Amino acid sequence: MEKDWQVKAHLDDYDKIVAYVSTNFYFGKSNLFFLKDTKGVLQSCSIRSIENHSQYTKYELDVPFSLEFGREYIMVEEHARQFPLQIGRIVKTQRFDEEFYYDGNDLGAVYSKESTVFTLWAPTSTSVLLNLEKGGEVLLLPMKREEKGIYRVEVKGDLKNASYTYLVKVNGHYNEACDPYSYSLTCNGLRSAVIDLSLKKTDLCQNSCTPFLSMTDAIIMEANVRDFTSFRNLELKNKRGTFKAMAENGLRLNGYTVGIDYLKELEITHVQLQPVMEYVTVDEENPEEFYNWGYDPNHYLSLEGSYSSDAKDPYARIKEFKELVKKLHQSNIRVCLDVVFNHVYDMVSSNFEKIVPLYYFRVSETGYVSNGSFCGNDLDSTRKMMRKHILDSCKFFTKEYGIDGFRFDLMGILDVETMNRIVAECRQLNPSFICYGEGWNMPTALKDEDKAIQANNSKMPLIAHFNDIFRDKIKGKSSEYDSMIKGFATGNVFDIYDVQDALMANCVDHIHAKVYQHPFQSINYVECHDNQTCYDKICDCCQEESDEIKIKRQKLMIGMLMVAQGVPFLQCGQEFCRTKNGLHNTYRSADQINQIDWLRRCRFADTVDYTKACIQLRKRNPVFKMKSSEEILHHVSFEVHENEILIYKLQNIEEYCDYHEIWVLFNGGLNEYVWEAQERFCLIFDEFGFVKEQEESSVLKATGCSMRIYAR
């Protein structure tokens, strides 16, 4: 309860009012409550129950007559104290959702040269004013209430450079809010912008990408727009940390390709950009003074202004992001966006809360705002208009910006139905669309069976999940408190049996840890923006080893990623031993910590070349990217040699490649082993990459901390 109040009441259901009387007001006692209708007539509210608390008394009351949304009602208690009836938890009821769900596609500012129509969903408001500004002139225009809680007004004339907010009167007060459906914003998200999307039409060149037949064909690399271009040794034409800088071609450093040309040279299939939707914690007028990854969203249809060459121009960010997507597509790289639909930066100041209080946020049965995200709030994706907003945002970016997929931050906060609809509707727009996310079971106020979590992957057959088993068994534990705990590739050979499950994408029956139904549901990774980089982890848990051994371990992890069943995922710079000085959670650390140090791309060129070779190995041999668990079960087996060497056997594979059989030897220990097999094999790949034609031999060798591949 907030301070300095005496009496208040909330409409919590169609037949229930909950009143609170402070113990500072007549000791919290009131025996009579009335509801005043729109004609000023009082009608008595029967008291259902009374609860005494230390600071207030809670009264549950009957609603004496049918209420009409969009009108103001006054409560009166026995001491003649009058106070407004506020809209409360009634917005969380199914009846409210059904009654006010609006399925139109015209929310926001629909622009034409002749006029612009502004449409806002605000069913609990009693009045909405459009605050319109163009050329220094400000107009306050009343909006008309229509069915389903829609407010609408048409303004004549060409408004393509205008900005606006809504003044929404709800619970007796006017709140100023931006339009959740506006396509762009003014600097720092203070006002919505009227946008003529036809002005920034761009050929996004999606047809430039190689046809994408299966999600296991994907090789995803995570990148951050700012990190990618903030390194001071780069000679750039454009402002660092922007879409335009990231889109620059022809960059070289010490003779090596860097930037977007480097990504093309690697031959990854997808780049996953960390959040580019408008977020709060960077001052767009002074972006160099602040840093943030962007997992604190404010608006889901506008791009982040700090990534623009001019944050004050709402059109600049649109044009420049489209150019970046185009350049990536022309480089045969599809684009995924990291999206944060699980929470907003601040619930109270969010546009959602200002327009329809409580509706968009998940609330527990006891009335507390759910905080499974640990960010102070959880968005309630089960509400029809919240789900619609998520769907509309995803479809808008898929269609307007040519986006090829989404990675969902804390996907376990969202519900199964919403996630399945995103995939279905976005694939209608882009058949190559992919969808994946963090399927951790977060403590949000939603039944476990409804959460979009790994345990429910069978209910979401087209959605992939980050495989934390793969991460922990290959690399070792990731949290700040577990950084010394090793995995197979960092020397813990006792994980050798769990690694087998991970290499089969944890999707095959009769294994110890079956999690998924299909291999494409497993996003295999050992490094992402969270926690230490792999190289920093190695330097911690293998600190007694030489630099040469540490680099071999880095390469071993990359090799295991690229030959494992499932979908490989890398963080940009992982392939040249990226470091963040050992830090774990660098979400607001300086550029000096988060930047891509392109000099390391030159220094660790051999590791980069090895990564390129691993990518080529995967692309040339579809046996490493099988499409079903049945195929894996039929073709994959394992053998453990000397309790340290894991042999990953791919057999009867003529339908996939030019070989009858491939043996991949993984050695997580320091010792070298040589032994004789029953069959004769040819070495095709070693710790340096591809091997030139060699004579067949029955002698096999597993060098320390490395991957070797033999075939026949």
Instruction: Point out the residues that are catalytic.
Output: 409, 438
How many whole angstroms from its chain centre is CA 427? Answer: 18
Strands 522-524 and 567-571, sheet pairing: parallel
Task: From 613, 617, 611, 620, select the one nearest 572 (Cα to Cα).
Answer: 611
Residues 6+ apart with CB under 8 A from 255: 602
The residue whose two tokens read 């946008």 is: 195
User: What stretches of 430-582 show up as alpha helix (H) in DSSP?
Assistant: 468-474, 496-503, 534-541, 547-563
- For 542-560, the DSSP string reads TTTS-HHHHHHHHHHHHHH
The residue whose two tokens read 């903030």 is: 230
Q: Which two tokens stand for residue 156?
A: 């004549």
- For 574-616, the DSSP string reads GGGT---TT-S--TT--HHHHS--HHHHHHTHHHHHHHHHHHH
Q: How many other C-beta atoms are found inside a 10 Å radius of the C-beta of residue 514?
A: 15
Q: What is the distance between the alpha carbons of residues 394 and 404, in angstroms, rounded to a whole number? A: 10
Q: How many other C-beta atoms are found inside a 10 Å radius of the C-beta of residue 359?
A: 25
Task: From 117, 112, 297, select the one nearest 196 (Cα to Cα).
Answer: 112
Answer yes or no: are the C-beta atoms of 244 and 323 closer than 8 Å. yes
DSSP 3-state assignment of 250? Answer: coil
Answer yes or no: are the C-beta atoms of 309 and 236 closer than 8 Å. no
| Sheet containing strand 74-77, strands side by side | 42-44, 33-36, 74-77, 82-87, 7-13, 16-22, 56-62, 47-52
DSSP 3-state assignment of 46? Answer: coil
**Taking the chain, what is the end-to-end CA distance rounded to the nearest angstrom?**
73
How many whole angstroms from its chain centre is CA 181? Answer: 19
Phi and psi at 226, nearest 5°, equal -70, -45
Answer yes or no: are the C-beta atoms of 88 and 11 closer than 8 Å. yes
